[in-house]
Structure formats: C-alpha cells, structure tokens
Amino acid sequence: MSPDHGPLLYEGKAKRIFAADKAEQVIVEFKDDATAFNALKKSQLEGKGKLNCQISACLFEMIEALGVRTHYLGIADENWMVAERVKVIPLEIVLRNIATGSLCKETPIDPGTELKPPLLDIYFKDDGLADPLLTDARLELLGLVSAEQRIEIETISRRVNELLKGFFEKVDLLLVDFKLELGINQLGELLVADEISPDTCRIWDMRTNDPENRILDKDRFRKDLGRVVDSYAEIHKRVQGISSKPRNYS
C-alpha cells in the first residue's frame, strides 16, 4: 500500500523520493529493482524493497539512539519511509574493515586482509563518470564540502562504522564494508541520509566459513549466487533480534 504522498521529486536505481505534506519532509519508496555494475546488470527481486526499508529503519534508529543524526523519521508502510528533506552531498563515503571488491581490483592488497584502522574512501557520486575515487586534492578542487565538513563527514562515518560493526557482531554478522551518503538539512546540519541495507553494505555470516555461503549482501546478486532475498531476510531476522520494531510515522 502506498501512503499519501506528493509529486515524485527524484527517482534513483533502488528508491523513489516523493514530496510530503510538510515541506521539510520526503517520503521514500524502496523499490524491488536491483542493479549492479553501474546499472549494466538489472533485475527485479520481489521483497527486496521491503527488507531494505525495514533493515535501514532498524539501523537508523539504533545509530540515532547512540547520537548519530540521520534523515530518518519513521516508517510509513512496509517499503515506505518518511525522512527529513536534505540536500544530498554527491559523495559516496566507503568504509572498509576487510579488503575486497574494488580495493582488491585496484591495489595489490589481498582479499580478506583486515584493515586497521578501517579504510575510508570517498567517491564522487556521478553515474556518468562511473563514481570515480577522489583524492583529497580533487575533493578540495570540487568544492562540494568545506574543510570542516570534510572532517565532520569522516568523524561521523567512522563512528557509524564502529556502531554498525558492534551491532552486527552481536548476531554473528561481519561488516566487511559499506557506503554512506550524507545530506545537509534546512538548518545546515549534516545528517546520514540514503539507506543502510544489504544493497549498500557487505555483510558476511560468521556462522559459516564457506566463501560463497557466508555472503548475505548484494554480492549474491552481483556474482549470481542466488538466494538474494532470502539472505536479506536472514539479515533482517538477525537485526530484529537486537532492535525494537521501527516506529511508525504519520
């Protein structure tokens, strides 16, 4: 069921953002569409939108409770979330605890290497440019954030990593890496935005060592491993075990 909403403001690969009654809010629909490799690979995964919405809601509430500001306000329906309206900064902040993915394609670092301290990579969010990795100098050149905001973004992202890692460990899940997006609200405050879900995190099941079976995130889709939605449901089940039911927002 779709809640009451205003006009479509933006459509991304996995979500649609609609205007809400209140100008300072938006209503986010999580879609079942799955894409990978800059949308070269596409599919529909029934039930994914609902799971990503519910997992994100739980995780947003858990980090908020520990002092991290997010755009999340509450759930409007199974796959619908109400959020504070923010101007999303076109940067993808990737935190890596274990080396895998693009880091191992672009450097000689062995897959599985533990990264201490966690590695923070900043990419420019631009599909046309295939989200290039930025150097500090290029980030400064682009002028998207001030020097103070750059430091705040790093502090928030590292804090979110430590919190998420801790939550997941409690239910035998290993947070390998994940991507964050941040936005600025009408008061000029930096908030964690977008989603935190198996679409944007790599999460391994610590209850098995099997290199394929332990993968519970979007890599199952990227690598054609099957059981994608089942794995997202397993993450949801475990996260529910350490969180309260996400609040409704109306």
What gap in Å lies between CA 90 and CA 124, rounded to an integer?
A: 6
Q: Does 220 bind ligand UDP (CB under 6 A)?
A: no
Nearer to ligand UDP, 211 or 244 (CB): 211
- Strand, helix or coil for residue 238: helix
Closest CA relative to residue 52, chosen from 198, 180, 175: 198
Q: Does 200 bind ligand UDP (CB under 6 A)?
A: yes
Structure tokens at 76: 């409007």
Nearer to ligand UDP, 29 or 199 (CB): 199
Q: Which stretch binds ligand UDP (CB under 6 A): 83-91, 172-180, 204-212, 225-233?
A: 172-180
| Closest residue to bound ligand UDP by CB | 101
Q: Does 101 bind ligand UDP (CB under 6 A)?
A: yes
Rg (CA), the chain: 17
Q: Which stretch binds ligand UDP (CB under 6 A): 47-55, 82-90, 101-109, 233-241?
A: 101-109
Nearer to ligand UDP, 5 or 218 (CB): 218
Structure tokens at 164: 């998420």
What gap in Å lies between CA 4 and CA 1, rounded to an integer?
A: 10
Burial of 197 (0-12, 13-18, 19+ CB in 10 A): buried
Q: Does 16 bind ligand UDP (CB under 6 A)?
A: no
Shortest distance, position 38 Cβ to ligand UDP, whole Å:
8
Closest CA relative to residue 242, chosen from 3, 61, 114: 61
Return the amino acid letter for 179: K
What gap in Å lies between CA 85 and CA 192, rounded to an integer?
A: 12
Q: Does 175 bind ligand UDP (CB under 6 A)?
A: no
Q: Does 201 bind ligand UDP (CB under 6 A)?
A: yes
* The binder of ligand UDP chosen from 5, 16, 218, 236 (CB under 6 A): 218
User: Contact positions toward ligand UDP, by CB under 6 A?
Assistant: 92, 94, 101-103, 131, 177-179, 200-202, 218
